[in-house]
């Protein structure tokens, strides 16, 4: 049973560029959430996708956008990268049954913006 997978594992970009991160949920899961973890902090919720639509959004600017595909996989896009976007980006998957489900996290993508 494959867990949550993310790609790439590491990425280096320069300010102003755009980046796309990818996530495949755990088998049987249909909901994907994205989190940003800055160094020394806990993860912060970016947004959640279910049935190919953004269902919840945290306090992140419109430069952060996403997509969910029919196979439940998801992408996170960040435009006009800033130095402060350097972080570990984590994807979590769960089965949409309200809030009573365990969320499982992928290994993350480390993004460095120079």
Partner 1 sequence: GIQVEQSPPDLILQEGANSTLRCNFSDSVNNLQWFHQNPWGQLINLFYIPSGTKQNGRLSATTVATERYSLLYISSSQTTDSGVYFCAVVRRGGSEKLVFGKGTKLTVNP
Q: Which residues are at the interface with partner 1 (CB under 8 A)?
A: 33, 35, 37, 41-45, 48, 55-56, 58, 88, 90, 92, 98-105, 107-108, 110
Are 76 and 67 within 8 A, CB to CB?
no
Look up tokens 């996530």; give the residue. 23
Q: Which is nearer to partner 1, 71 or 102 (CB)?
A: 102
Quick one: DSSP state of residue 107? -
In angstroms, give the least distance from the CB of 16 to partner 1: 26
The whole-angstrom separation of Cα 84 and Cα 100 is: 33
Q: Which is nearer to partner 1, 18 or 21 (CB)?
A: 21
In angstroms, give the least distance from the CB of 64 to partner 1: 14
The whole-angstrom separation of Cα 94 and Cα 55 is: 14
The whole-angstrom separation of Cα 93 and Cα 101 is: 10
In angstroms, give the least distance from the CB of 102 to partner 1: 4
Q: Which is nearer to partner 1, 15 or 64 (CB)?
A: 64
């Amino acid at each position: 049973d494959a867990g949550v997978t993310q790609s790439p594992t590491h990425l280096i970009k320069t300010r102003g560029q755009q980046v796309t991160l990818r996530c495949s949920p755990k088998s049987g899961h249909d909901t994907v959430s994205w989190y940003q973890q800055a160094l020394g902090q806990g993860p912060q919720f970016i947004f959640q996708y279910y049935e190919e639509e953004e269902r919840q959004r945290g306090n992140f600017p419109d430069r952060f956008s996403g997509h969910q595909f029919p196979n439940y996989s998801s992408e996170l896009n960040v435009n006009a990268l800033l130095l402060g976007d350097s972080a570990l980006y984590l994807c979590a998957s769960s089965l949409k049954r309200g809030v009573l489900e365990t969320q499982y996290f992928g290994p993350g993508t480390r993004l460095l913006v120079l």
